[in-house]
Homo-oligomer: A and B are copies of this chain.
């Protein structure tokens, strides 16, 4: 009863290694969500022969084939012509596509030339799929045996919108996809292996219609419980029942029940409690502030961050020179002083700071690469500190330090 899909991405630039194909991962993830199993993913160049060959192979293995790319006006529309030939169809101007094209160009104040107008041509055996974000329409074909072949543009935000708004509903219409409900448990600060050990008994006792996935990213592990069944309300109850058993085991490592990032969780926490945050960053070099402000709305709770890379900049922020001279620039005392200084400079309720050796460096470095001190100053003069012993890699060390800083702020507020 498995519904199988294949993903086919088209473009010479993919095979030249000029771009990383992130489209196919998005499509696979969305298919997984609705209970469709991707069995193969293929990328071929802008060649009619290669596309036909790949499509033919895909149709021997799957009920659904999702294609992206090769629809631009400058690419000689290789995908559209190839699909028209494959399905024995003729290209004709589609009124709705032509309408959408005119509106798109009018909005951008541009004139349509013949090359552009050709984008409104569609194979007469295709169902038109609107492109609300661009000029190349999508196409859906149904084979005599009921397989679906869908062609979408390669521009990521056009494809993503089209997939979610039109293609997923069409798949659900054509196939009986199972009802799938997800429940998330987001953890931070505990390695995947340790987590798996703690949860082993619970995982083994899960009923057969509920599956657990460990989705690790740097410093965090997202647990996804997926329930499959016939009735959404019952599934949700089952998932809550199972999640409730895991929550006490996860303890302080659990930060959220939503599918969200740690910094999104912090945003909600600070906004709800009407608090403000600031930072002083040495070894993370602005990466903490960058991550927090990547989400809209940071202005209402994040006052700012002083990136103080040099000794002088730390002193200018308010760290006493004797602390640096006597305890060292990479020290608990310096991290604490930076947090206190940033809290005062930015007038914030909380301020978090870091100082350390991100690397790369020599094995003889003192302190060694990966030694990082973080501290957080909160209301009433409370300052917490933690020393991290990280790795040799600069980018990973910066990233892990940011995660640890975010988590330190969370714990200090939740324990307040």
Contacts and interface: CB of A to CB of B under 8 A. Distances in A.
A232 interface: no
Contacts of A298: 285, 309
Contacts of A286: 281, 286-290, 292-293, 305, 307
A411 interface: no
Interface string A270-297: 0000000011010011111110111010
Given A41-B15, A50-B40, A25 B32 contact: no
Contacts of A22: 20
Interface string A163-186: 000000000000000000000000
B296 A302 contact: no
Contacts of A290: 284-287, 289-290
A316 B293 contact: no
A158 B346 CA distance: 43
A239 interface: no
Interface residues of A, number: 68
Contacts of A416: none
A14 interface: yes
Nearest to A276: B310
A394 interface: yes
Contact of A306 (B24, B37, B307, B394): B307
Given A20-B22, A22-B20, A44-B40, A289 B307 contact: yes
A235 interface: no
Contact of A304 (B20, B39, B296, B308): B308
Nearest to A293: B285
Contacts of A45: 39
A116 to B, nearest CB: 14
Contact of A44 (B39, B292, B316): B39
A215 interface: yes
A92 interface: no
Contacts of A27: 17
Given A304-B310, A310-B304, A316 B294 contact: no
A395 B395 CA distance: 20
Interface centre among A37, A54, A310 (most CB of B within 10 A): A310
A14 B41 CA distance: 9
Interface centre among A19, A29, A293, A304 (most CB of B within 10 A): A304
A219 B355 CA distance: 32
A30 B18 CA distance: 10
A303 interface: yes
Contacts of A191: none
Contacts of A288: 286
Contact of A303 (B304, B309, B345, B394): B309
Nearest to A18: B215
Given A28-B14, A38-B15, A54-B40, A310 B303 contact: yes
Interface string A249-285: 0000000000000000000000000000011010011
Given A20-B20, A293-B309, 18 more contacts: A14-B25, A17-B24, A17-B25, A17-B28, A17-B38, A18-B25, A20-B25, A39-B45, A279-B307, A285-B290, A285-B292, A285-B298, A286-B290, A286-B307, A296-B359, A303-B312, A312-B347, A316-B345
25 contacts: A15-B38, A16-B38, A17-B38, A18-B25, A18-B29, A18-B215, A20-B21, A21-B25, A39-B44, A40-B43, A41-B42, A57-B57, A278-B313, A279-B307, A284-B290, A285-B289, A285-B293, A286-B287, A294-B395, A304-B306, A307-B307, A312-B346, A312-B347, A313-B346, A316-B346
